[in-house]
Amino acid sequence: MAVQPRQGRRGHDPESVLAIAVDVFNERGYDGTSMEDLARALGVTKSAIYHHVAGKEQLLARALDRALDGLSELVADERADSGPAIGRLEWVVRESVRILVDRLPYVTLLLRVRGNSATERRALERRRAFDAFVSHLVKEAAAEGAIRPDLDPALVTRLLFGAVNSITEWYRPARGGSADDLADTLVRMTFDGLRAQDA
Amino acid sequence: MAVQPRQGRRGHDPESVLAIAVDVFNERGYDGTSMEDLARALGVTKSAIYHHVAGKEQLLARALDRALDGLSELVADERADSGPAIGRLEWVVRESVRILVDRLPYVTLLLRVRGNSATERRALERRRAFDAFVSHLVKEAAAEGAIRPDLDPALVTRLLFGAVNSITEWYRPARGGSADDLADTLVRMTFDGLRAQDA
DNA sequence: GTGTTTACCGAACATTCGGTCAGTTGACAA
DNA sequence: TTGTCAACTGACCGAATGTTCGGTAAACAC
């Protein structure tokens, strides 16, 4: 985990530039962030950034890939592929929360992408693959009778992952509890309801 | 509802400019939208826009106020103020869905604001008032024993309205069902759970 | 010391940005 | 026909944008 000692002047590298840049992107929005803003946050001149990355859009592309690679690994995991669908769905939700917390700044950025450039559209396409995977899983669970029949599966998918994705809007690793506690509460509420049974 | 016949050349007015502008803002993001983009969508020159509104930021301010006024009316409603908290919470959720669908483009814009300008920060402050109102309501319901004691009320608030707010991400009035059907599904799932009871 | 590697600065670039202004066009009323 | 009013155009402004480039400074190896 320790950074290799390296020859030459000490300072930023592509990794530290990306980390700081993503934070600024999330604070001001990608389009609302200028290279000057990034330079200020890095404590460096605008032109120095181009020593580490090809440009603003490459920073975005690298950040989005970090989020999407996490989701791709989830879809590829064998644990998402055997057993009752409702159990797999619960596992996918928990794992999604873990990835979301783990890679919070990158996923936050991903969830705000609207398709303004080729880079953004490519990211949206990869994201759609994940959405389709989850959507199919919910339909399976419904077909197996594990989801209340008065709920439209497509709507359940949307609302369930609406709750999951909202984590990027308010979760802060400092204050908030662990990712597992968060996932517990989320699953309990969405799967079994927030209402007390004896009320 | 019909537009008054008016003297002078026919064309856009502040209202139609706002409606179209908000659509473009939601497609490309506020910061990602140039006045040139708006002009193109309006079928007009850039300078013509300034005949109707003072500038880009005023368009944003007007749009955000439309969303926030709806939420303010909700908070002021007497139906949010009497009876068991859990019932009031359900009413507030249903009403929120109605407002969100009713004023979809305006609320969508509001939920993406990050505080880049004085206008955005003012909107965020008004929105925080609504969040505080809902947060308090959930705590009341928990204190009255109507919410499962193993769920943290603050987290319930976040997740519940995470699901509500996600509506702006995927609901399209054309395809989607009515706002009431949507609210029904949302309340059933979040209050009583998506899991079938006999499973 | 010398050479090499890496990180950086400062000035400049072309383009786009939000916004201004003097004048024109088109629809209505009288 | 003439006057009035709202809607609009086209040329323009200063500032900010993302990016380039030639040169410099600091850390390391030898």
Element (H, E) at A157: helix A153-165
B176/B169 Cα distance (integer angstroms): 13
Residue in A101, A110, A109 with CA at minimum distance from that of residue A131: A110
pLDDT mean over B26-46: 98
Cβ atoms of B124 and B113 closer than 8 Å: yes
pLDDT mean over B136-142: 98
| Alpha helix stretches (DSSP H) within B29-152 | 35-42, 46-49, 56-76, 85-102, 104-110, 118-143
Q: What is the pLDDT of residue B2?
A: 42
Between helix A179-187 and helix B153-165 the angle, nearest 10°, is: 70
Angle at the Cα of B135 from the Cα atoms of A168 and B154, rounded to 5 degrees: 55
For the CA of B106 and the C1' of D9, the distance in angstroms is 30
The nearest alpha carbon in chain B to A165 belongs to: B162
Measured in angstroms, the CA of A38 and the nearest CA of chain B are apart by 15
For the CA of B119 and the C1' of D6, the distance in angstroms is 29
Query: Is the entire prediction scored with pTM above 0.85?
Result: yes
Least confident interval from A46-50, A104-108, B80-84? B80-84
Q: Is A190 on the interface with B (CB under 8 A)?
A: yes
Q: Residue B34 — pLDDT band, cuts 50, 70, 90? A: very high
Q: What is the pLDDT of residue B9?
A: 85
pLDDT more than 70, % of chain A: 96
Cβ atoms of B22 and B58 closer than 8 Å: no
The one-letter amino acid code at A4 reads Q
Which is more confident, B198 or A1?
A: B198
Residue B76 has pLDDT above 70, yes or no: yes
Quick count: other Cβ atoms within 10 Å of Cβ B72? 15
The nearest alpha carbon in chain A to B159 belongs to: A163
Dihedral of CA atoms B19, B23, B29, B32 in degrees, nearest 10, equals -80
Tokens linked to A41? 């946050």
Nearest residue to C28 via alpha carbon and C1': B7
Measured in angstroms, the CA of B69 and the nearest CA of chain A are apart by 22
pLDDT mean over A163-171: 98
pLDDT mean over A101-106: 98
**A31-78 per-position pLDDT tens digit:** 999 999 999 999 999 999 999 999 999 999 999 999 999 999 999 999
Q: Across all residues in chain B, what is the average pLDDT?
A: 95
Residue B4 has pLDDT above 70, yes or no: no
Residue A84 has pLDDT above 50, yes or no: yes
The one-letter amino acid code at B30 reads Y
